[in-house]
Copies of this chain bind each other. A is one copy, B any other.
Amino acid sequence: MDLERNVVLRGEAELGERAGRLFLACEEFACAATDLTTWAMPGHRERFVAERCRKGPKPVTHKLYNPAALADEESERHLVELARAGAHVRICTAALPHETILIDRRIAILAGPPERGVREYTVVRSPGVVKGVVSLFQATWDTSIDLADYRRDRPPALSDESLHILRLLAGGLKDEAAARRLGMALRTYRRRVAEILTLLDADSRFQAGLRAHEYGLIS
């Protein structure tokens, strides 16, 4: 294979099909993106993740995002769970110039702007180019801040529903009563509570109450 020949893929579907296998058997994985929608690949990503879990040891993973990646509750929780699963996650306040994936420091995938709704992805193997991209990534990484540190100072973005649940918890309601109040099943309510605990980095409900007030989410 000609390392100097770049391959251009159009759309996430093609990216998933043609480059998917690259994600499976790698030892080092790095990516940079403004938010989580970039590499979403609906219907593909989940399968990759599941398959990679089965395969063996997780790759060392570095993920770099703009603050937009934790603008809403769901995204933020996703990041937190990534970090909890062992990935290194950092937040970069400067706009990320080009969304990028790096695999084993050998392959780079650069995303272009969307054209007529479809984005182009360029797969680069050229050692010279990849080395340059890696070093740029590294520089950006070094000046970025760890997710945990970044999150420590600011309250998580919570949906109205989550805030409502916090108020019910603050009112001392049992799960049973609170769920009824919200017109949802007990199971779902507890799911919500668990998600909130995750966002608040709380190991117990006591801690959650503490943090909630600390962040001014209640009063």
Whether the Cβ atoms of B203 and A206 lie closer than 8 Å is: no
Instruction: Spot the interface stretch: A78-86, A152-160, A182-190, A211-219.
Output: A211-219
- A192-219 vs B, CB cutoff 8 Å, 1 = contact: the mask equals 0000000000111111111111100011
Interface: A170 (CB within 8 A): yes
- A65-102 vs B, CB cutoff 8 Å, 1 = contact: the mask equals 00000000000000000000000000000000000000
- Where the two chains meet, the residues of A that have a C-beta atom closer than 8 Å to any C-beta of B are 169-172, 174, 202-214, 218-219
Copies held by the complex: 2
**Shortest CB distance A65–B (Å):** 26
Q: Quick one: which of B203, B205, B207, B210 contacts A204, CB cutoff 8 A? A: B205
Instruction: Specify the chain B residue showing the minimal Cβ separation from A210.
Output: B209
- A213 and B219 CA atoms in complex are apart in Å by 12
- A170 and B211 CA atoms in complex are apart in Å by 9
- A213 and B209 CA atoms in complex are apart in Å by 8
